[in-house]
């Protein structure tokens, strides 16, 4: 019985989101354009359960490139209106469109000449009449068996907020590096660290000329302690790499081969990574190809750094 009720609730909410998705129209595009061209912040407001959802919507907008904050409507009329400045946009959520605390804000919003986007099922409500754009979130019923507790309606509100954030993210050309800048903490932030922040560079990078002997290459690798060395030509361009494993296998065949040029034994098409790439990508490359170190190159294929698996582990990129 418990699982049956749970599945029914999830199915109702999923279907409600699909219904809203099917009825999205140019009003949604208008809302995105208003926010995209906003010179200020997106002030998200809602009361009760809608307010809790609005906090998440605001947080998602802020973390994906749209400056935003949550304003509690009851606190707003007791001084917090000072947080709003001209150029801001108000994004208000109220299923009925008649939430008293929000209604009291509406004349003030218009006095500030601010644009208002409403998320509501009340297409003819007071809030809708004050709005520049109305996003309809009408649902046939709540997941609550009494059809009272805000469940399906708040889920749809949240989904609309996510849809706005994703549409804006795409319109802004938001990149993984931008996302990383807003998420410096936690596991997510660690995965979004750029390779350039973790790599060893300068004199720490093992580099040998392609005509240097394997013996001298081994000395360079031993000094730098990464078990790998880049091999460059006379222009400084990377032409290959060699690992300590390569040299061990050569010595097993014939120790005299240590006197041959490194270019005869190097890997000419190694796995490489750019310094602008994310640390998570470097980890994926290492895991996929069972390697413990990667060379980092610039756009001209010049060696710029080296990154070891231990560097990723120490930084918590897992």
Which of 231, 255, 228 has the alpha carbon at shortest distance from 310? 228
Q: Are strands 293-297 and 272-274 parallel, antiparallel or unpaired?
A: parallel
The count of C-alpha atoms lying within 13 angstroms of the C-alpha of 106, restricted to the half-sphere facing its C-beta, is 21
Residue 184 lies in a domain: no
The whole-number average pLDDT for the span 57-72 is 93
Q: Is residue 237 within 8 Å of residue 303, measured between CB atoms? A: no
Q: How many domains does the chain have?
A: 2
Residue 180 lies in a domain: no
Of the three residues 143, 174, 205, the one that is the final residue of a domain is 174
pLDDT interval class at 19 (50, 70, 90): very high
Residues 79 and 169 in one domain: yes
Who has greater pLDDT, 186 or 27?
27
Residue 14's pLDDT is: 94
Which of 143, 117, 152 has the alpha carbon at shortest distance from 33? 117
CATH number for position 99: 3.40.50.10490
Contacts of 311 (CB under 8 A, 6+ apart): 198, 199, 200
pLDDT interval class at 233 (50, 70, 90): very high
Between CA 210 and CA 292, with CA 273 as vertex, the angle to 5 degrees is 80
The whole-number average pLDDT for the span 274-298 is 89
Residues 8 and 155 in one domain: yes
Domain containing 67 equals 2-174
Residues 259 and 296 in one domain: yes
Residue 25 lies in a domain: yes
Q: Is residue 224 within 8 Å of residue 268, measured between CB atoms? A: no
Residue 179 lies in a domain: no
Residue 195's pLDDT is: 87
Residue 179's pLDDT is: 66
- Mean pLDDT estimate for the chain: 90
The whole-number average pLDDT for the span 159-165 is 96
Lowest-pLDDT range, 121-125, 169-173, 219-223? 169-173
Residues 169 and 219 in one domain: no
Residues 149 and 205 in one domain: no
- Rounded-to-integer distance, Cα 292 and Cα 299, Å: 23
Residues 158 and 29 in one domain: yes
Residues 165 and 304 in one domain: no
Residue 240 lies in a domain: yes
- Rounded-to-integer distance, Cα 44 and Cα 106, Å: 13
- Rounded-to-integer distance, Cα 56 and Cα 94, Å: 15
The whole-number average pLDDT for the span 47-54 is 95
Q: Are strands 133-136 and 207-209 parallel, antiparallel or unpaired?
A: unpaired
Of the three residues 139, 174, 209, the one that is the final residue of a domain is 174
Residue 150 lies in a domain: yes
Residue 185 lies in a domain: no
The whole-number average pLDDT for the span 94-113 is 92
- Decide if pLDDT at 188 tops 90: no
pLDDT interval class at 206 (50, 70, 90): very high
The whole-number average pLDDT for the span 293-301 is 92
- Decide if pLDDT at 157 tops 90: yes
Residues 224 and 90 in one domain: no
pLDDT interval class at 145 (50, 70, 90): confident
pLDDT interval class at 191 (50, 70, 90): low
pLDDT interval class at 118 (50, 70, 90): very high
List own/partner pairs for 129-134 with CB under 8 A and 24 or more apart.
130/106, 131/92, 132/30, 132/34, 133/27, 133/30, 133/31, 133/34, 134/27
CATH number for position 296: 3.10.580.10
């Amino acid at each position: 019985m418990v699982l049956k009720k749970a599945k029914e609730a999830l199915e109702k909410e999923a279907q409600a989101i699909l219904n809203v998705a099917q009825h999205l129209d140019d009003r949604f595009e208008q809302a995105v354009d208003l926010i995209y061209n906003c010179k200020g912040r997106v002030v998200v407001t809602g009361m009760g359960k809608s307010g809790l959802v609005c906090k998440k919507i605001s947080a998602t907008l802020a973390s994906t490139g749209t400056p935003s904050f949550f304003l509690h409507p009851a606190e707003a009329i007791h001084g917090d209106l000072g947080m709003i400045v001209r150029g801001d946009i108000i994004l208000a959520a109220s299923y009925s469109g008649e939430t008293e605390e929000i209604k009291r804000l509406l004349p003030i919003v218009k006095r500030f000449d601010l644009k208002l986007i409403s998320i509501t099922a009340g297409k003819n409500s007071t809030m809708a009449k004050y709005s520049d754009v109305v996003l309809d979130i009408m649902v046939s019923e709540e997941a609550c068996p009494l059809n009272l507790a805000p469940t399906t309606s708040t889920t749809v509100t949240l989904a609309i907020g996510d849809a706005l954030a994703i549409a804006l993210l795409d319109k802004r050309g938001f990149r993984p590096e931008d996302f990383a800048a807003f998420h410096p903490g936690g596991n997510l932030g660690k995965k979004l660290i750029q390779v350039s922040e973790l790599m060893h560079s300068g004199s720490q990078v093992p580099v040998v000329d392609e005509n240097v002997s394997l013996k001298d290459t081994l000395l360079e690798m031993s000094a730098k302690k990464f078990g790998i060395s880049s091999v460059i030509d006379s222009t400084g361009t990377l032409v290959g790499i060699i690992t300590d494993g390569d040299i061990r296998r050569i010595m097993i065949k014939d120790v005299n081969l240590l006197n041959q040029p490194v270019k005869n034994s190097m890997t000419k098409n190694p796995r490489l990574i750019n310094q602008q790439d994310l640390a998570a990508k470097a980890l994926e490359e290492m895991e996929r190809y069972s390697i413990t170190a990667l060379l980092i190159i610039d756009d001209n294929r010049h060696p710029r750094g080296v990154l070891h698996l231990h560097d990723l582990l120490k930084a918590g990129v897992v």
